Structure 1
Amino acid sequence: MINRRRFAASAPLLFGGAGAMPGCSPDPAAQSYETVARQTWRLGGVDGFEGAALGRELVRYATLAPSSHNTQCWKFSLDDKDQRNAITLMPDLSRRCPAVDPDDHHLFVSLGCAAENLTQAALAHGLMGDARFDTARDVVRVALEPARAQASALFKAMAQRQCTRGDYDAKPLSNEELGLLQRAGSSDDTRLLLLTDRAAMEQTLDYVVQGNTAQMADPAFVKELKAWIRFNGADAVRLRDGLYSASSGNPNIPAWLGNLAFERFFTPTGENDKYARQIRSSAGIAVFVGTTADKAHWVDVGRCYERFALQATALGIRNAFLNQPVEVASVRPQFATAIGLAGLRPDLVVRFGRGPTMPPSLRRPVQAVLV
């Protein structure tokens, strides 16, 4: 999911470096990206909202959740007369990614991430959210009831959470930190494996390389990925979705140059070398697996992952997806057996550790996702 890949960092070498290109240095569009990013990722106040305004504010927090290729594959409905008693999250099938996610697994995981954000934000605003998956309509309905307001550490971390696709410092986490992550990322229906042994991490790397090599040999996968990349701040601001290349440490460059660089430098060898470096710089790898492979459990996996990510953020720990072993159907059962999950479907693979903050991705405005 939520699988954010970058073209090779050597891309600017195509024309002698980003700084040598007209329009590659900071410009009004890039400055507007900074402004929009600050507005998008703000932690708002928890007082003064009611009725429809409160519903829209809760939806805004929900949209800060991660989604496959940052497609933001969701829609929201504010239900009942005063528009605050329930919020329904629906899949936006027009934003699905059939090449990387043919059975919509990541799409429903993304709905779960958004539902978790919504319930955390609701509690901070004095509402208890009860999220239930409606199997008849394939939607998540979050019923809201008055409760004592509690702005938890997870809520406060929401405005800083990101999938940080850079190198980490390779330092181990404490047992206390690992325990907090384990509790945050588990439920009755979702199991979390934390792999911190270097041999287990190298074994996972082998499956990441297998999956990545297979995906990059698939023209449909490469075409789909490229369609969601935003090579500069102006395009990121204009569309408010997709994978902003600067979020992976790449330069802000014109789209035409980005397309050339992608074709030239996005290679299996370059990407596999990058994943090897990044895994070896991580403190560990988290694997999420639902007890059953269906949409309701995928939503629960998404909720568990989002709690894990928010708890990690609160602790100053970064994370990023390594989903190739679970996205390639021929690799998935081999990977499951290797990590002791034979007969189950691993849902998400995530590396974690301490590292730098990267530029955040953007989100579409609330009015664009309300129905």
Structure 2
Amino acid sequence: MTLSRRKMIGLIGGGVVLAAGAGAGGFAATRRPDAALVPWDAAGSYKDPRMAALSWAILAPNPHNRQPWLAQLVGDDEILIWRDLSLNLPETDPFDRQLTIGMGCFLEILRQAAAQRGLAADVTLFPDGEDGSVAHIRLTPGGLPDPLFAHVPVRHTNRNAYEDRQPATAALLAEATSVVTAPDAVAALHKLTWEAMRIEMATPRTHMESVGLMRFGKQEIEANPDGITLGGPMLEALMKVGMLSREGQADPSSGEYQQTLSMLKSSMDATPAYAIVSTAGNSRTDQIEAGRRWVRLHLAATGQGLAMQPVSQALQEYPEQADLYAQVHKQLASPGETVQMLGRVGYAPPAEASPRWPLESRIADA
């Protein structure tokens, strides 16, 4: 089905009316994937301090919301953390760099959560080499609470259009390599980040990797609370009338696909600033450190009332992005540095929490 922009906007409006008319918000309430959001409410509720820390760590940001972590409890005070290789993203993340950054985010929130209970997380990265576990952790008395931890429950990736006003950046500079606010530089990054997104969606194998991870509606989201969530009353209204589907998202000739491009571009162009996290090298340890810094940056932004969203498509290491990869490094990095993360920053309406698998599903047998 091919749709004009006007017709699509009209139907979206109709979806809102439909939702509003279904019992004063009753439709919206029934379409909320409550089961997939339970981990946000359960965080910190476990008696075992390791489980308590892990219950916070699973709320960490990660590529395509794959949640690739597995934990193994050892003895009374140790944890082994693994990355589930079955959740790799071979097309958009062929060297597992972004997934490793996600593991760094996980480890940083785990450290902060343990510190809230007065425990220090003694972390040894890759104790058996890079082909083994990601980290061995021993919890010991002595952790000092981190003020950033207060923002973990409300840190959410925000894909909305951002307001046309400059964010306050002082708190961000404590965690970011740099924050870009100069109008000309911001305009250049609008162009670069959009072109990288367009390339990803125009490259069949990378786009289909994302389409395969889309979860359409409450039932799919609760059955598989990972991947790319497409839910809520408005979108489900479109699904019911056949105007939002996996087939439409997969077909570049469809009006649905073109409308998605248009809406993505509108949001991405509405960006007043960008934050960058770079590292001196690009080892697995560097990538873990980049993840720690990225989630700290996001928590600091949350504490300032700011929204953030990664727009790191230009940093992905598949051939179609090679020219933009070189361009972004020339533009944003010092010689020899690797730009690990690039994100939008600004003021925006609040974003919803993303679904999560229950902690128990992430615990491996000893």
Tell me the TM-score normalised to structure 2 length: 0.83
Query: CA-to-partner distance for each residue in 1:93-129, whole Å, 9 max, x for gaps?
Result: 1001111101101110010010011001111122111
Equivalent AA in structure 1 for residue 165 of structure 2: K
Match of 1:164? 158
Distance 1:347 1:268 in 2: 29
8 Å contact kept, 2:16–2:234: no
Rounded to whole Å, the distance in 1 between the matches of 2:30 and 2:260 is 31
Whole-angstrom CA distance in 1 between matches of 2:143 and 2:332: 42
1:70 Cα shift? 0.5
Query: Equivalent pairs: percent with the same residue?
Result: 22
| C-alpha RMSD over aligned residues | 3.1
The equivalent residue for 2:54 is 59
Aligned residue in 1 for 2:224: 239
CA contact (8 A) 2:36 2:225 kept: no
Structure 1: stretches of 5+ with no match in the other structure:
1-7, 186-191
Q: Deviations over 1:236-260 (max 9, x none)?
A: 112111111248x962354874224
- Matched letter for residue 115 of structure 2: L
The one of 172, 177, 180 equivalent to 1:181 is 172
Q: 1:131 to 1:200 in 2, by over 3 A?
A: farther
Q: Distance between the aligned counterparts of 1:308 and 1:274, measured in 2?
A: 26
Check 1:172–1:163 CA distance in 2 against 1; reply closer, same or farther (3 A cut).
same
SS in structure 1 at match of 2:70: strand
Shift of 1:42: 2.6
The Cα shift of 1:232 comes to 0.9
Task: Tell me the CA shift for residue 90 of structure 1.
Answer: 1.2
The answer as to 2:349 corresponding to 1:362 is no
Tell me which of 109, 112, 115 is aligned to 1:123.
115
Contact 2:70 2:81 in 1 (8 A): yes
Report matched runs for 1:304-315 at 5 Å.
304-315=293-304
Give 1:341's aligned residue: 334
- Match in the other structure for 1:210: 195
Which is further off, 86-95 or 304-313?
Answer: 86-95
1:288 pairs, out of 253, 277, 284, with 277
SS of structure 2 residue aligned to 1:319: strand
Which residue does the alignment assign to 1:98? 90
Aligned position for 1:107: 99
The verdict on how the C-alpha distance between 1:268 and 1:221 changes in structure 2, with shifts beyond 3 A counting, is: farther
For residues 329 and 83 of structure 2, the distance between their equivalents in structure 1, rounded to whole angstroms, comes to 28
- In structure 1, how many angstroms separate the alpha carbons of the residues matched to 2:245 and 2:220? 12
Question: In the alignment, what sits opposite 1:198?
Answer: 183
The answer to whether the 8 Å contact 2:306/2:347 transfers is: yes
Q: 1:35 to 1:193 in 2, by over 3 A?
A: same
- The aligned counterpart of 1:189 is none
Q: Is the 8 A contact 1:201 1:279 kept in 2?
A: no
Does the 8 Å CA contact 2:279/2:290 hold for their aligned counterparts?
A: yes
Distance 1:180 1:224, change over 3 A: same
Whether 1:145 and 2:129 are equivalent positions in the alignment is no
- Deviation of residue 211 (structure 1)? 1.6
How many pairs are equivalent? 344
Mean Cα deviation higher: 357-366 or 158-167:
357-366
8 Å Cα contact 1:283-1:353 kept in structure 2? yes
Aligned to 2:310: 321
For 1:223-234, list aligned pairs within 5 A.
223-234=208-219
Residue 299 (1) aligns with residue 288 (2): yes
Equivalent pair of 1:70/1:242 in contact (CA under 8 Å): yes
**For 1:10 and 1:156, how far apart are their aligned partners in 2?**
44
User: Does structure 2 retain, via aligned residues, the 8 Å contact 1:41–1:64?
Assistant: yes
Q: Secondary structure at the match of 2:154?
A: coil
